[in-house]
Amino acid sequence: MKISRLLLTTVCLTIISTYLFAWNTPVHTSPSNASTSWTGITLDWDAVSGSEKYQLQVDTSSSFNSAVLYNVHKDYINSSSSNDDTKEYLDNLFFGETYYWRVRAYITGDTSAWSTPWT
C-alpha cells in the first residue's frame, strides 16, 4: 500500500509540475516568415517571462543538422521593449540561399520547446 501511494504521489507531482511549470516558447516577431534579404538580416523574438538566456539556431537545413549551422547563446539582461537581448543580426549570408531559424529560452536549468522554424 505504501509503495502504491508513493508511486501515485510521484506520478501526480510529475504531471502537475509538467503543466504548472511548462515554459512558454519564444515567438518570432521579425522578419516575417519567408522574408528575403540581400546578405544581412536582424532576427527578433518576444521575450519569455523568467528566462535567463536564449539559444538561437540558424541553418540551411530545416532539420538543423547541416555544417552551416549557426548556434548562439544570448544572455537575457532586461525586459525593456527597446533592448537587443531578443535580437540577433546575421550578416554574410549567401544570396538565394534559404535559411531556417528557431529559438528557445533557458529558465532555471531547463529549456522551453524550440519555436516553430521560420525561413
Task: Output the pLDDT for position 62.
Answer: 93
pLDDT tens, the chain, 119 aa long: 555 554 444 444 344 444 434 568 877 777 767 677 667 889 999 888 888 899 999 999 999 998 878 888 888 766 555 567 888 998 888 888 899 999 999 988 899 999 999 99
Task: Output the pLDDT for position 11.
Answer: 41
Task: Output the pLDDT for position 16.
Answer: 40
Question: What is the reported pTM?
Answer: 0.70
Place of cell 522574408: 35
Task: Output the pLDDT for position 115.
Answer: 95
DSSP 8-class letter at 23 = P
3-class SS at 11? helix
- Consecutive H or E run containing 2: helix 2-20
Task: Output the pLDDT for position 22.
Answer: 53
Q: With the C-alpha atoms ordered 68, 92, 30, 35, is the resulting torsion angle positive or negative?
A: negative
Task: Output the pLDDT for position 92.
Answer: 85
Q: What is the Cβ-side half-sphere exposure of residue 15, based on CA atoms within 13 angstroms?
A: 6
Residues 6+ apart with CB under 8 A from 2: none
Domains of the chain listed by start with CATH number: 24-111 (2.60.40.10)
